[in-house]
Amino acid sequence: MQVTRQATQALKTTWRQRRTFRKGSAALRALDLLTDYPVLTASRLGHLLDITPPAAQTALAQLCQVGILTERTGHARNRIYAAEEVLTILNHPFGEEPALPDPPS
């Protein structure tokens, strides 16, 4: 469990290097939630961060733009977003080191 925690913390650091997020922005605040909620909807993000639906949509779009989140449904409504890198870390075989994404170049 300690290795997984270290891997998710390293991932957060990598994410912050992918884009300069405005201090206090919903997208920046969402980064801290994604390791606990790697699959979410705009509604869920809005509830977790106590922000408006448009602010949640903006945050999700920014996170998708830099590859932190991926939209998984392909629908125009009721979209589900996933932090694939977190899922990769969480789904590693027991006893093996979790796979970390390559650092940005």
Q: Which two tokens stand for residue 85?
A: 């890198």
- Which CATH number belongs to the domain containing residue 34 in this structure? 1.10.10.10
28 falls within a domain: yes
16 falls within a domain: yes
The Cα–Cα gap between 64 and 22 comes to: 16
84 falls within a domain: yes
Strand order in the sheet with 70-71: 39-40, 81-82, 70-71
**Tally of domains within the chain:** 1
105 falls within a domain: no
The yes-or-no verdict on residue 102 having pLDDT over 60 is no
101 falls within a domain: no
**26-77: per-residue pLDDT in tens?**
999 999 999 999 999 999 999 999 999 999 999 999 999 999 999 998 888 8
Half-sphere CA count of 35, side-chain side, radius 13 A: 16
Measure the N-to-C terminal CA separation of the chain; round to a whole number of Å.
Answer: 29
What is the value of pTM for the model shown? 0.82
The Cα–Cα gap between 105 and 85 comes to: 17
69 falls within a domain: yes
* Enclosing domain of residue 49: 2-90
Report residue 10's pLDDT band, with 50, 70 and 90 as the boundaries.
Answer: confident
100 falls within a domain: no
**pLDDT for the residue 7:** 84
- Average pLDDT for residues 69-89, to the nearest whole number? 90
The Cα–Cα gap between 20 and 16 comes to: 7
23 falls within a domain: yes
